Structure 1
Amino acid sequence: MGARAEQLCRPLTRRGLLAAGAGLLAAAASPAFADAITPEARKLLEAMPGKAVLGAQKTKPLVTELVDFNAPDWRRSAFDMRELLAGDAKLAYAIVQTPRVDVGSIEAARVALAVLAMQPAKFGDFYLALAATSGDIDGVKALNVVRSEGLDHYKVFRAANQPDITDILTQGVALAAALRVLDTPAYVIGADVVSGYADLARKRTLVAAAAR
């Protein structure tokens, strides 16, 4: 990485840039697991900005996943999503950024939301390319993936640090709390809320039931 790129990336590794980060992490502590979505949570989910919808674009998402890139099972869940979408051309799958593990999670979520805002058609490729990396994920790693996918990582960096991105992350925290989600990945599948990783077989069962 050149000197200019390092200079641009450096703020994403510093807590000072993410003044809202500590508040986001603290607010993310949510109540216990709930297995049915409430009307209030449904309203928040439907109004949630910054949702990435993959798969069928003209269909209301049947699955919404709450994501933290540093959650232990996020990568498994990302590749499960790929399998689900490959097997059902009518399925729409939404992704909501709800980072809570650490500051690196918030940094990477900012980058992801910037990619979505700037190049929505490229988001799916970015998302799976990030899942194909190893180790902890932070803003620098996410920007490296942005660059490897042929996107302008300078522009993404600038967009990632705009106030509207913080607003989206704050609303993601509120959604997680309304869903009573403690662990991510977490899923809303139809009317069901699943907190914590659900394997591919279970997700297929839930999707089939919700689609009836």
Structure 2
Amino acid sequence: MKRTLFAALLAMTALPAHALDLSAMTEAEKAAFGQAVKDYLMENPQVLVEAINKLEERQAAAEAQNDKQLVATNAKEIFEDGHSWVGGNPEGDVTIVEFMDYRCSYCKKAYSEVDQLLKKDGKIRFVVKEFPILGPQSELAARFAVAVQQVAGDAAYAQIHDDLMTFRGDFTLESLKRLAESRKLDSDALFKRMNEEEVSNVLRANYKLAERMNISGTPAFVIGGDMLRGYAPLPQMQKIVADQRG
């Protein structure tokens, strides 16, 4: 709290940090200064609120700039890793990359928003990064999805991805087998691949990329050159896409 108040005072007074060097003041000066600040803020409480809001704006701008740099630094792994499924319009002028978990309630909520965005826009390239972070069932579902892509191809993955995103219940070998059979896929071949290094390599690469991008939750999106950390409704995503197009 002291650090926040001190930062707010700096913003309020527009002075550099050294100009408020309390260590150079006598005890009497400190007391007088403190009382003056208190009196002023009691009479003008909105000033402190405005200063804190300004600080939060600056912090948000700095974080956004840092995210831009993270995207630029890791662009190859984000947009062209060679293993992530690509949907939407593969030739689109804006790419959206989603780090997602099939057990994440906000990922499921974002699923319909993203689906609408892709259908309404028609010029968005969409990349899915399997990023299971919510426990064993999350990893089981992600391994199954990656195995489907590797064994049965991108079209089968697209169907299974949709099935997993809209699934309600526990992910178990039995429930995944039923999903596979509903899509006429070989569950034995898929279960064998799920535990092989080819699948582990994909998840490992996604974890490492997320770590470099400071992504610790889902959903997380890279939209063009910017990042969106968390769920956003359709209008907000549309605005971000429009901003990317300039």
Classify 1:140/1:35 alpha carbon distance in 2 versus 1 (closer, same or farther; 3 Å). farther
Structure 1: which 5+ residue stretches go unaligned? Answer: 1-31
C-alpha contact 1:97 1:109 (8 A) present in aligned 2:
yes
- Counterpart among 137, 153, 171 of residue 205 in structure 2: 171
Task: For residue 58 of structure 1, report the CA deviation from its aligned partner.
Answer: 3.5
Q: Is it true that 1:83 corresponds to 2:116 in the alignment?
A: yes
Number of aligned residues: 181
| Counterpart in the other structure of 1:133 | 167
Q: In structure 2, how many angstroms separate the alpha carbons of the residues matched to 1:138 and 1:37?
A: 39
Structure 2: which 5+ residue stretches go unaligned? Answer: 1-62
Task: For residue 108 of structure 1, report the CA deviation from its aligned partner.
Answer: 0.8
Moved more, 138-147 or 179-188: 138-147
How is 1:132-171 mapped onto 2 (pairs within 5 angstroms)?
132-171=166-205
Higher helix share: 2
| Counterpart in the other structure of 2:68 | 36
TM-superposition CA deviations, 1:114-173 (whole Å, max 9, x none): 111222112222111222221343554334322212222222111222101111111100
Structure with the greater alpha carbon radius of gyration: 2
2:131 alignment partner AA: T
Q: CA RMSD in A?
A: 2.2
Aligned partner of residue 53 in structure 1, secondary structure: strand
| Counterpart in the other structure of 1:98 | 131
Q: In structure 2, how many angstroms separate the alpha carbons of the residues matched to 1:50 and 1:139?
A: 24
C-alpha contact 1:56 1:90 (8 A) present in aligned 2:
yes
Once the two structures are aligned, what percentage of the paired residues are identical?
24
| Counterpart in the other structure of 1:74 | 107
Q: In structure 2, how many angstroms separate the alpha carbons of the residues matched to 1:78 and 1:161?
A: 27
- Counterpart among 213, 220, 236 of residue 186 in structure 1: 220
| Counterpart in the other structure of 2:237 | 203
Using structure 1 for the length normalisation, give the TM-score: 0.76
Using structure 2 for the length normalisation, give the TM-score: 0.67
| Counterpart in the other structure of 2:58 | none
| Counterpart in the other structure of 1:107 | 140
TM-superposition CA deviations, 1:72-105 (whole Å, max 9, x none): 2111122222111211222111100111110111
Task: For residue 110 of structure 1, report the CA deviation from its aligned partner.
Answer: 0.6
C-alpha contact 1:68 1:101 (8 A) present in aligned 2:
yes
Q: In structure 2, how many angstroms separate the alpha carbons of the residues matched to 1:171 and 1:140?
A: 28
